[in-house]
Structure 1
Amino acid sequence: MGTKSHDLNLFPPGLRGRRILLCTESLGPVNGVSRTTVMLVNQLRSHGALVAVVAPHNHTKVNTFSPINSPGGEGPSFNEEVRLQGYPLPFNPELSVAYPVRLSELYRRTFGGPPDLIYLASPASLGFQVMLQIRQHTSESQVPIICNFQTDLARYCLILFPWPLGDIANRVFAFVQGYLFRHPSVKTIFYPSTSVRRYLNHAASVPDDKLEALRRGVDTEAFNPSKRREQLRREWAPNGELILFTCSRLAGEKGFGFLAQAAAELDKRGLDFKLVVVGGNWNAVIELEVKETARSLAQKGKVVFAGFKVGEELNAHYASADVFLHCSVTETFGLVVLEAMASGVPVVARDEGGPSDIIEHGRTGYLVPPDDLEGFVRTVLELGRDPRRREQLAEAGRAAACQATWEGIGNKVAWAMLDTIEESERDKKRGALETRLPILGWPLPGASVRRLVLSHLVDAWLGLALSIVVGFWAVVGSYLLFANIVHVVKDRAPQVRAAVNFISQR
């Protein structure tokens, strides 16, 4: 890639006026991935890059992305934002599976023609379609691609679905991702943590020369110890209890089962605390299942489910806590950990995924082996009873977070974009690209024939993609329906037993 030879304190002036098609699976401040994407889009546009964003519709109807005009006083000469039809994920309606769409249609609806570069943020249903269709283009018409691998879909499948469905889905995702990422049109794949690099290397067989580390930044003005609110603390803990805090979408793969066990054990050992949970799930059944894991503690008044928070309210919730608990083992980065550190709140996290790279154990926070419940509880107990130690970790964590600026991270991406565009232009000028059909290797007699064959081939692949989507959702839908029925039966079982007993007694 060559970004290391550039001054990452500077934005590349050569990217101004370049056309970038950015495709993302979610858009708006609904999660760490989409918040990262929004920050990048804003930085690119503020320096004059022409960025058109394509994403599925946000079915939650909140936290939508607000485009900004390019500098110069006049509006952009392209469509800044295109929303696609899609099907919301049953277990996370913030995200949608994009219905099959032609790449040529995306070009037409954004810039009116091919862009200079395609950037895929956390590619899944939409990103896979783009990479699949690029493969069907002749080499001379392929637009170079940069991917940012931010979501470990394979790991999610292992947790969400029972064996053997989870294991099968995990292997399928690894195969598909490797097949798509290894294609020459994909020039760079940014990865956020060491664990993700291992996955891409070993499970997906992506070569090293395509991989480039890219951390995330944090807004240290927004996430700041100065946002602490004593009134909020009194509402949570009127008797001065220790405030344990976590922020996450309420879903099983986020480690709430582990968190509930840890909190129950802390209660048994006499720690006087309140556990504050920020986040929710637009699927009410999934959210209820997560809350059920902490039912006994909630009945004791030890847990506060605060719901979704954004903006200043979210900043205040972070800064008003005493200890941040991170129990997920599926995070490719774990932006919430960095946000907690920036807010001056010490972190205790399971040593898996992104947090392992963010936290310097013993100095900016604590890392505990992912399956060591006893070690996690013991660490929280010790930290909860040692205000001076919490203060030391908070200061060191804040200092470390202040080094992770969005500007430097955005500049690194921008330099990679410019390098990729210029390299592609040099290749085309040298005339080194072939005019064969990539997937079959057949020489074709003319451009009109090539276009006709490619059009039919793309239609065939889109038909196949639609079949895969429908088949996948048939399996997932059946499983979720079964899980929901089981949940309802378990929830109503005590009432049914009581009714039966009443009838039998009469």
Structure 2
Amino acid sequence: MSSQPDSLRPPAHPPAEFPESLRGKRILLCTESFGPVNGVSRTTLMLVNHLRANGANVAVVAPDNHTRKNTFVPRQPSATPEPAADDVGRQSLDVRIQGYPLPYNPELSIVYPVRLSTLYRRTFETTPDLIYLASPASLGFQVMLQLRQQPLENQVPIICNFQTDLAGYCNILFPPPFSNLAVLAFSRVQSFLFNHSSVKTLFYPSRFIRRYLEKQRVKGEKLEILQRGVDTQLFHPRRQSDTLRRQLAPNNEIILICVSRLGGEKGFEFLAEAAKELDARGLDFKLHIVGGNRNAAVETEIKDAFSALVDKGKVVFAGFLMGEELATAYASADIFLHCSITETFGLVVLESMASGVPVVARDEGGPSDTVRDGKTGFLTPPESLDSFVEKVMLLAGDVAMRKQFSEDARSQAEEATWDKINNQVAWRMADTIAASERERAEMLVGAKLAQQDQGSEEPAASGSGELVMAPSPLFGWLMMSETFKARAADARVLGGMAAISASWIAVGAYLVFINAGIWVKKTFRGLLWR
């Protein structure tokens, strides 16, 4: 396994250029969420827009509930140009499939079983040149499992982007021993799928995730670091609003901000305890929490953890914000608080830094690679509430330090552009397609030579001088029968899908149970307060 850090590998292609060879190529992009739902889906949306704008033929497959039933609809910039005539067909290559939304996070679904051949037919009507799996889970697992059943000559190369730590989520959301079983199941499934020869590259966003993938015995030559970009024009210190600051902190209190979907795995229990401790230590602050959850019961449970501080006017929930409103919320704050330890990258951290707001984060996951400790913010031991609170107190009380951290954070964010990140992906796609085409050409030549050799060969003899008997006619017919091969492949896919579906059904059933518990607590609490 390669131990050479990605940062030491010389760039193979100019990051400012888009590969010409990728224009017109058919790319089937499967994602578990799409649109302005979360950091992962926003990253995927940026990539799709970049590829299409540069002439790649991209078809997106995503669960239906992330589009028409989305929590919020993005506002389109007024200056967005109309697609060119030859781009109209490409823009429409989007397929929405059905799934069961997870109760704790309805933005994610357990996708119902779907045949890979159906996806081919509904997108390009033929085999794509490459499959890109954005944060593979229920949909991505199905694609990888079915593809590995295909004959070698029919296998489409796959590039995966590992952006969601499913095992980490399970470890937090489920109590033992369910958490242990879920983590083990995901680890085994991911190891089985990622190590197949059809998976050519596995992008990862941080050292934390690389270590996880190495534990799954993924070959080092498949791993390539891919960080996130940020819109430094949208997220900018100049977005600071004096009006919003006066509204949030009329007495010039320190404004703390947290931007996150309201979910149990996002560290809100830790944040609530930190806010209570900051209040106990006498810090004059307002905590501005931006985000929500389509599951009202889950959102209510998160908010209840802050109820005492909400009553005191210390905590304000803003709900979902996006675009300029979100950028204004970032830039109008003094310190960004990041309490999740399940983030593979944590795009909100980079957006905060681009807004000139220093970060205090728990030293676990993606933020460990993004925040420069003591320069653009502070990293604290993941389980140490005291250390986290002390760093917030330190930054809150030192105006000069906040100013310097703000400038350094902005400078660091300016180095991370979306064009550079997306061109890295585009070059990897182009190289992978070119390598696949060469391999197919070599296989075709080899097959023709083998056919020529077979036509002139006599029955071979074994080392003992005995003739090697040909297989029985029935066995030979079965092995040559396309119907038999297809049925055998279907049986293997069905068995694998049954195992994966059973795992997802178990996860969904458990979350439904938890969701019902939340509803019962809410109902009885309401009755008691009447």
TM-score computed with the length of structure 2 as normaliser: 0.87
Please point out which of 491, 503, 510 is paired with 1:460: 491
Secondary structure of the corresponding residue to residue 443 of structure 2: coil
Aligned residues: 491
Q: CA deviation at 1:476?
A: 3.4
Residue matched to 1:315 = 327
Greater shift after overlay, 297-306 or 333-342?
297-306
Compare 375-384 and 70-79 and name the one that shifted more: 70-79
Alignment partners' CA distance in 2, 1:350 and 1:97: 30
- Distance in 2, matches of 1:395 and 1:309, equals 25
Residue identity opposite 2:502 in structure 1: G
Q: Which residue of 1 aligns with 2:35?
A: 28
After superposition, the C-alpha distances for 1:6-40 in whole angstroms (9 at most, x for unaligned) are 11111111111111111100000110001000111
- Does 1:86 find its partner at 2:109? no
Report how far residue 372 of structure 1 moved.
1.0
Unaligned runs of 5+ in 2: 1-5, 448-473
Q: Deviations over 1:334-354 (max 9, x none)?
A: 000000000011100000010
What are the equivalent positions in structure 2 for 1:2-41 lying under 5 Å apart? 4-41=11-48
Residue 360 of structure 1 is matched in structure 2 by 372
Contact persistence 2:297–2:519 (CA under 8 A): no
Write the distance in 2 (CA, Å) between the matches of 1:495 and 1:336. 35
- One-letter amino acid of the counterpart of residue 16, structure 1: R
1:387 CA displacement? 1.4
Work out whether 1:159 is the aligned partner of 2:168: no
Residue identity matched to 2:14: D
User: Is 2:70 the counterpart of 1:61?
Assistant: yes
Give distance in 1, aligned partners of 2:209 and 2:232: 26
| Deviation for aligned residue 1:41 | 0.7
- SS of aligned partner of 1:22: strand
Give CA-to-partner distance per residue, 1:76-124, whole Å, 9 cap, x none.
Answer: 2684211011111111111112111111111111111001100000000
Provide the rounded CA distance (Å) in 2 between the counterparts of 1:248 and 1:459: 41
1:480 match: 511
Cα separation, 2, equivalents of 1:164 and 1:433 = 54
User: Are the structure 2 counterparts of residues 485 and 63 from structure 1 closer, same or farther at C-alpha, using a change threshold of 3 Å?
Assistant: closer
1:337 to 1:159, Cα distance in 2 relative to 1, 3 A: same
Question: 1:301-312 counterparts in 2 under 5 A?
Answer: 301-312=313-324
After TM superposition, the structure 1 = structure 2 runs for residues 264-303 of structure 1, keeping only pairs within 5 Å, are: 264-303=276-315
Query: CA distance change for structure 1 residues 414 and 84 in 2, over 3 Å: closer, same or farther?
Result: same
Report the structure number with the largest CA radius of gyration.
Answer: 2
- Aligned equivalents of 2:202, 2:101: Cα separation in 1: 26
| 2:51 aligned residue | 44
Q: Does 1:168 align with 2:181?
A: yes
Secondary structure at the counterpart of residue 224 of structure 2: strand
CA distance in 2, matches of 1:232, 1:330: 31
Deviation at 1:288, TM superposition (A): 1.2
SS of the residue 2:18 aligns to: coil
Q: Over the residues paired in the alignment, what is the CA RMSD in angstroms? A: 2.6
1:347 maps to a residue whose letter is V
Q: State the Cα deviation string for residues 309-335 of structure 1 (Å, max 9, x = none).
A: 111111111111110000000000000
CA contact (8 A) 2:102 2:511 kept: no
Which of the residues 359, 382, 406 maps onto 2:394? 382
Superposition map of 1:324-403 within 5 A? 324-403=336-415
- Give, in whole Å, the separation in 2 of the partners of 1:444 and 1:47: 51
Give distance in 2, aligned partners of 1:460 and 1:137. 12
Q: Secondary structure at the match of 1:266?
A: helix
- In the alignment, structure 1 residue 145 sits paired with structure 2 residue 154: no
Instruction: Report how far residue 475 of structure 1 moved.
Output: 3.1
Name the SS of the counterpart of 1:333 in structure 2.
coil
CA distance in structure 2 between the partners assigned to 1:433 and 1:200 by the alignment: 36
Alignment check: 8 A CA contact 1:243 1:321 kept: yes
Partners of 1:181 and 1:206 within 8 A in 2: yes
Query: Aligned partners of 1:63 and 1:144: how far apart in 2?
Result: 34
Task: After TM superposition, give the deviation of residue 495 of structure 1 in Å.
Answer: 7.4
C-alpha spacing 1:472/1:25, structure 2 compared with 1 (3 Å): same
**Partners of 2:289 and 2:315 within 8 A in 1:** yes
Q: CA deviation at 1:234?
A: 1.5
Name the CA distance, whole Å, in 1 between partners of 2:525 and 2:499: 41
Decide whether the 8 Å contact of 1:69 with 1:76 is kept in 2.
no
Where does residue 210 of structure 1 map in the other structure?
222
Indicate if the aligned counterparts of 1:246 and 1:278 stay in contact, CA closer than 8 A. Answer: yes
- Which one of the candidate residues 182, 196, 199 is aligned to 1:183? 196
Cα distance change, pair 78–334 in 1 and its aligned pair in 2 (3 A): closer
| Structure 2 CA distance for aligned equivalents of residues 262 and 68 of structure 1 | 46
5+ residue gaps, structure 1, are 436-442, 500-506
Q: 1:139–1:434: 8 Å Cα contact kept in structure 2?
A: no
Task: Report if the CA contact (8 A) 1:19-1:49 is conserved.
Answer: yes
- Runs of 4+ aligned residues of structure 1 deviating over 4 Å after TM superposition are 62-74, 432-435, 443-450, 488-499
Partner-residue secondary structure (3-state), 2:277: helix
Change in Cα spacing, 1:396 to 1:257, as seen in structure 2 (3 Å) is same
Identity of aligned residues (%): 56
138, 143, 149: which is aligned to 1:125? 138
2:453 corresponds to: none
- Match of 1:40, as an amino acid? L
CA shift digits 1:229-274 (9 cap, x unpaired) = 1111112112211110000010010000000000000000000111
Provide the residue aligned with 1:471 in structure 2.
Answer: 502
What are the superposed Cα offsets for residues 331-385 of structure 1, whole Å, 9 maximum, x if unpaired? 0000000000000111000000100001111111111110111010000011111
2:248 to 233, 236, 247: 236
Deviations 1:195-238 (A, max 9, x none): 10000001x11110100010000000011111111111112112
401-410 vs 473-482, which moves further = 473-482
> CA separation in 1, counterparts of 2:64 and 2:150?
27
Give distance in 1, aligned partners of 2:98 and 2:178. 27
**1:83 counterpart SS class:** strand
1:434–1:228 distance in 2 versus 1, CA, 3 Å: farther
**Among residues 192, 196, 214, which one is paired with 1:201 in the alignment?**
214
Report what 2:275 is aligned to: 263
The amino acid of 1:50's aligned partner reads N
Separation (CA, whole Å) in 2 of partners of 1:77 and 1:40: 15
Q: Which amino acid aligns with 2:207?
A: T
**Contact 2:149-2:492 at 8 Å conserved across structures:** no
Contact 2:206 2:365 in 1 (8 A): yes
**CA gap 1:70/1:491 in 2 versus in 1, 3 angstroms:** closer
The Cα shift of 1:460 comes to: 3.0
Task: Output the CA distance in 1 between the equivalents of 2:526 and 2:40.
Answer: 42
Offset at residue 293 of structure 1 (A) = 1.2
